[in-house]
Amino acid sequence: MAWAVFIVLSVLCVGAVAAMIVSRNQAHNALFLVLAFASLGGLFGLLDAPFAAAVQVLVYAGAIMVLFLFAIMMFNLRRPAPREKKTLRAALAAGLGTVLFVELVLAARKALAGSVPTGAPGGIEGLGRLLFTDYLYAFEITSLLILAALVGALALAGKKEDA
Amino acid sequence: MGSPLALAPLLAVTAGALAVLLLEAFLRKKDSEAPAALTVAALLTAGFFTVLSWGEPGLGAFGGRLVLDPLARFLIVIFVALGVFVALMGLKYAARMGLALGPFCGLLLLAVAGLMIMVSTGDWLVVFLGLEVLSVSSYALTGLRLRDRTSSEAAAKYFLMGSFAAAFFVFGLALVFGTSGRLELGSGVPGAAALAGLGLIVSALFFKIAVAPFHMWAPDVYEGAPTPVTVFLTIAPKAAGLAVLLRALSPILRAEGAAAVLSPALSAAAVLTMFAGNLAALRQTSLKRLLAYSSIAHSGYLLVAVVARDAAGLVFYAAVYLFMNAGAFGVLIALSGRGFERTSLDDIAGLGRRKPWLAAPLAIFLLSLAGFPPTAGFLAKFYVFGAAVREGHIALTVAAVLASLVSVAYYLKVIVAMYMREGEAEQEPWLEEPALYLVVFLCLFGVVELGLWPGNLLTIIRQALPGFF
């Protein structure tokens, strides 16, 4: 059963990313990316990482991508992006992709050999406990950071009073 | 939880920021000065709590993530003074330049909160969060002159480059934590990966301090930002970043292994910074840009204090630099008109005859920045360079003295323009800004007092920071 779900989600994820690259309509790009993020969240769930799965869906697929869609709609990008010459960029991307692939293969082989230690047990419960005991101070500062970003964005985007 | 007093200064500033931002909603009059008054009150409260805890050796809370030790207290007092100066300078400037005073004060308080978080901790993660609170507020402060192109451009540049630095910092943190499993400042560096991580973190801090070769953004940002914000940016991130470097690197510099790499690297960065700043400043025709390059050179001198592991010298230099730099920029603000600034050397030509009471303080601030006795700038450099000689960094000290000699040329150029050149004869009216003149006077007092009688402050600093000698 798990295998079947894994195959379906993986195919969805890889397919969505491929479609996102091929498609030239910006709104479709964004929607394909949402699909890729959602299926990636499902994969995290299969790996017994419920927190990562929830964050993936809520933050990436939810908040960030909706923002992207809003931006695309606001700029009113109806026309698809023009075709561009991409020999150099394609070669560069292929080179970097190969390096990344080799790295991933090496990492996966090491992980399968069982030499990588797993994190502290306790899952989401342990995470919550850490956040509200040891890392409470850091956690609270994060709220200050978000406040600063919010105020700054509002101040800069605020109406320009006429002189 | 530890002592509640450790958290009190930070809480005062944060509460002040929230109150200022809430006040915006209830203010009827658009040009009310209430936000600035509230800002000054919040900062003074924070200063009061800091001084209240002075007798205790070191207050901690949250398992070492919040440490209010003497070094942190000195820097918090410096930041409080800086915040008060900037708020007072911005009071009328905001109205003249079309800045919204509420967001200006709120962001200023948030930035000060970030500074406090940065300097009063022993944990890299908290340093990073504090640095980001500071940076995000600074980006917005830089762009607050909404109708001014250069201000928006400066903010965009600062934001983009700052984001790169933040990415460096996080990547470095990941390497350090991944290899050692610890995030304490000053824990050793086992192996090459952790050393690389530490290098990334140090480069990110260098970026915020504007140390060469990570200083390219600084002149544009300092020039484009509203002048009170420039005062803040040229002093605060430098003092905080260097204090973090001092905390983190002095145990490592004392050990044998890593010091062999780190000490020459820091010295090279310091020398490069001093010369990059001073040589570029020679060619400037805008006083604001000249002072921007001069502040880059001063990061180099301050870095000498870190190499020499001289905490007392660093604190003294930061205090003196606060007075002389804030004073020089304060005079620049006093020269600005409604909606524009007068910053070019031609604008200040003949200032000695037109406005002698502004020209004389500016001349004293510039002489202090150059390091002439009997001003405080001379003593600050003297103590830092002396500590470097004691620690055996002779070549570094020689380079620093040479760089100071170069800097004399451009500081004197400004003074010559003020007193020996003829300017336009028209008499601009004096600005009615008692708060601004108060700041300039306090800075003048600080520069002269610390230059002639530095003993009081030095005794306090040396008594409080014996462990760092």
CA distance B87 to B245: 28
CB-CB neighbors (< 8 A) of A163 in chain B: 98, 147, 339
Q: What is d(CA A27, CA A23) in angstroms, rounded to the nearest whole number?
A: 10
Say how far apart CA B344 and CA B445 lie, in whole Å.
26
Give the C-alpha distances (Å, rounded to integers) separating B258 from A83, B157, B199, B393: 52, 34, 11, 17
Query: Are the beta carbons of A144 and B14 separated by less than 8 Å?
Result: yes
Contact state of A138 with B132 under an 8 Å Cβ cutoff: no
Q: Which residues of A touch B129 (CB under 8 A)?
A: 138, 141-142, 145
Residues of A in contact with B133 (CB under 8 A): 141, 144-145, 148
Question: Is the model more confident about B129 or about A47?
Answer: B129
Residue with tokens 């406990």: A129
Residue scoring higher pLDDT (B464 or B103): B103
A140 vs chain B: nearest CA distance in angstroms?
10
**How close A134 comes to chain B (CA, Å)?**
7
Res B226 pLDDT > 90: yes
pLDDT of A111 higher than 80:
no
Here the tokens at position B461 are: 């600093």
| Cα(B218)–Cα(B235) distance, integer angstroms | 12
d(CA B211, CA B238): 9
Residue B200 — very low, low, confident or very high, per pLDDT cuts 50/70/90?
A: very high
What secondary structure letter does DSSP report for A60?
Answer: I
Asked if B301 and B317 count as a contact pair (C-beta separation under 8 A), the reply is: yes
Contact between B98 and A152 using a beta-carbon 8 Å cutoff:
no
- With contact defined as beta carbons under 8 Å apart, do B317 and B426 qualify? no
Question: Smallest CA–CA separation between A15 and chain B, in Å?
Answer: 30
How does residue B1 score in pLDDT terms, banded at 50, 70 and 90? Answer: very low
Only one residue has tokens 């890729």, namely: A36
Task: State whether A158 and B100 contact (CB < 8 Å).
Answer: yes
**pLDDT higher for A142 or B60?**
A142
Which whole number is the average pLDDT over B432-447?
91
Q: In 3D, which of B262, B417, B236, B398 has the Cα closest to residue B321?
A: B236
Quick check: B214 and B286 in contact, CB under 8 A? Answer: no
- B131, B133, B159: which to substitute to probe chain A, counting the most A Cβ within 10 Å? B133
Per CB-CB distance under 8 Å, the chain A contacts of B114 are 144, 148
Q: Which position has the token pair 């800097």?
A: B407
Of B100, B107, B130, the CB nearest to A152: B107
Structural domains of chain A, with CATH: 1-81 (1.20.120.1200)
Domain boundaries, chain B: 4-468
Residue of chain A whose Cα is closest to the Cα of B100: A155
Tell me the one-letter amino acid at B228.
P
Among candidates B126, B143, B339 on the partner chain, residue whose Cβ is nearest the Cβ of A156: B143
The interface pTM score, or ipTM, of the predicted complex is 0.88
Residues in CB range of B125: below 8 A, 6 or more apart: A135, A138, B65, B173, B183
**DSSP element (H, E) containing B439:** helix B434-452
The share of chain B scoring above pLDDT 70, in percent, equals 96
Interchain proximity B114–A148, CB inside 8 Å: yes
B7's enclosing H/E stretch is helix B4-26
Backbone angles phi, psi at B33, to 5 degrees: -100, 10
What is the arithmetic mean of pLDDT over A107-136? 73
Q: Taking CB atoms and an 8 Å cutoff, what residues of chain B touch A154?
A: 103
Buried b (16+ CB within 10 A) or exposed e, B312-333: bbbbbbbbbbbbbbbbbbbbbb
Please, are residues B225 and B159 in contact by the beta-carbon 8 Å criterion?
Answer: no
What are the tens digits of pLDDT across the range B386-423?
A: 999 998 889 999 999 999 999 999 999 999 988 888 77
b vs e for A57-72, b when ≥16 Cβ sit within 10 Å of the residue's Cβ? beebbeeebeebbeee
Closest CA to A146 of B114, B241, B236: B114
**What single letter denotes the amino acid at residue A114?**
G
pLDDT tops 50 at residue A163: no
Contact B129 A148 (CB under 8 A): no
- Please name the residue that has the structure tokens 């507020």: B137
**Could B133 and A156 be called an inter-chain contact, meaning their C-beta atoms sit closer than 8 Å?**
no
B186 exposed, middle or buried (CB, 10 Å; 0-12, 13-18, 19+)? Answer: middle
Q: Mind telling me how many Å the CA of A129 is from chain B's nearest CA?
A: 14
* The predicted structure's pLDDT at residue B469: 41
**Rg of chain A over CA atoms, in angstroms?**
21
What backbone phi and psi angles, to 5 degrees, belong to A76?
A: 60, 55
The position carrying tokens 């790996």 is A47
* List of chain B residues whose C-beta atoms are within 8 Å of the C-beta of residue A141: 117, 126, 129-130, 133
Beta bridge partners of B61: B66
One-letter amino acid for residue B179 of the chain:
T
**Does the structure show a pLDDT above 60 at A161?**
no
Q: How many CB pairs under 8 A join A and B?
A: 76
Q: Which residue is closest to A152 within chain B, CA to CA?
A: B140
Q: What is the mean pLDDT of chain B?
A: 89
DSSP B280-340: HHTT--BHHHHHHHHHHHHHHHHHHHHHTT-HHHHHHHHHHHHHHHHHHHHHHHHH-BTTB
Residue pair B443/B327 in contact by the 8 Å Cβ criterion: yes
Residues of B in contact with A135 (CB under 8 A): 125
